[in-house]
Amino acid sequence: MSNAPSTPQAIRGTQDIFGADAEAFAHVVETFERVRKLYRFRRVEMPVFEKTAVFSRSLGETTDVVSKEMYSFDDRGGESLTLRPEFTAGIARAYLTDGWKQFAPLKVATHGPLFRYERPQKGRYRQFHQIDAEVIGAAEPMADVELLVMADQLLKELGIADGVTLQLNTLGDGESREAWRAALVEYFRAHKAELSEDSQDRLERNPLRILDSKDPRDKPFTADAPKIDDYLSAEAQDFFGAVTSGLDAAGVAWTRAEALVRGLDYYRHTAFEFVTDRLGAQGTVLGGGRYDGLMVALGGPETPAVGWAAGIERLAMLVADAGQTAEAPLTAMLAVEDDAALGFALKTLTALRHQGIDAEIIATGSPRKRFDKAVKSGAKAIVSFVVKDGVPVANLRAGETTPARLAVEQVLVTVQP
């Protein structure tokens, strides 16, 4: 009987990303980095964990994320810390603690892993990854427009914009939202006994969340619930009008979604989601909104802000489905047919890579079979290395004249044994 130790398994809800999936993941991140530079969003790197208060105060003690899903722990000093479940709260904390206010209006972007203890399912993990963009210190609707135009361009450049719809709503300013909230509480109270348990629980503290309930018991009541448009102040109407006209001018298609809400009190004005029917029930690929009240919740001054985030895994699934990330064929394969030519081959390999040409080398196994292996690699250019009259020689195998082949040929001219 073997006493060999058993191999530890991966933690449920985590993933090892490899091959085509990893290529799709990288394609999303690379495209995001390119687009955020076009829009002059500055790159930030944020801590993976923060004091628990950063999230409990920003997300609200009563939200599912805080009450059920956060990975929180006491460190050795007895302080409660939490692995970040989202980016916005940490960025808002940094804005207040690191003096970033001097750069307002500040446009920042980041990406990386986030952590939530929730039931794993397709496209949803306990360690997952997001891209994130925020504009802090800009109260004007143009900031909302720029973020939405940027998100729209990102989806187009990823090649996944077909079948993705921008759904847009307004939550009004603080005064509008409060009036709407009071009307919702009064309306839903009359039907409390017939609502789902979750909605009954949300009725007093978070009635807006009832509007986006997926429970069929709530559907008959949400359809006739009071609408935000009946409670919008003139200023809030003007703000939403400026956002929609800005999107129209930029050629970004949108549809009004009156049931699209954000439950937390610090959200104001614009709320939006880019949704698709290509991921089953998990239809949101990118979402965000204006959160003008967040800084106050973190003990800072009133500070306008708007942002969005998108799951890299979900975007990568759409990218893979659209066939966007087939690995490009290898440009150059070097076959060392005589071991005495290995040094020259390595010198050539380095020169090719320094010129931005991807290349591999075959220098192990039977020397007679190395060239055949190189041919089977499917590389655009195959270079064999032999020794003639005691001198290492590189031979570019005959083939079609292509830009890749010409580039390899130019490097070979410059490399001497």
337 annotated to bind ligand:
no
86 annotated to bind ligand:
yes
Contacts of 163 (CB under 8 A, 6+ apart): 276, 277, 278
| Pairwise CA distance, residues 295 & 366, whole Å | 67
| Pairwise CA distance, residues 199 & 215, whole Å | 9
DSSP state letters, 157-177:
HTT--TTEEEEEEE---HHHH
- CB count within 10 Å of CB 74 equals 10
| Pairwise CA distance, residues 167 & 39, whole Å | 22
End-to-end CA distance of the chain: 57
| Pairwise CA distance, residues 252 & 149, whole Å | 7
H or E element that contains 374: helix 367-376
Do the beta carbons of residue 346 and residue 295 sit within 8 Å? no
Do the beta carbons of residue 28 and residue 111 sit within 8 Å? no
262 annotated to bind ligand:
yes
Torsion of CA 272, 278, 282, 283, to 10 degrees: 10
87 annotated to bind ligand:
yes
116 annotated to bind ligand:
yes
Task: List the one residue out of 188, 81, 158 whose CA is nearest residue 320.
Answer: 158
Determine how β-strand 359-362 pairs with β-strand 332-336.
parallel
267 annotated to bind ligand:
yes
181 annotated to bind ligand:
no
Residues making up the annotated binding site for L-histidine are 86-88, 116, 130, 134, 262, 266-267
Residues making up the annotated binding site are 86-88, 116, 130, 134, 262, 266-267
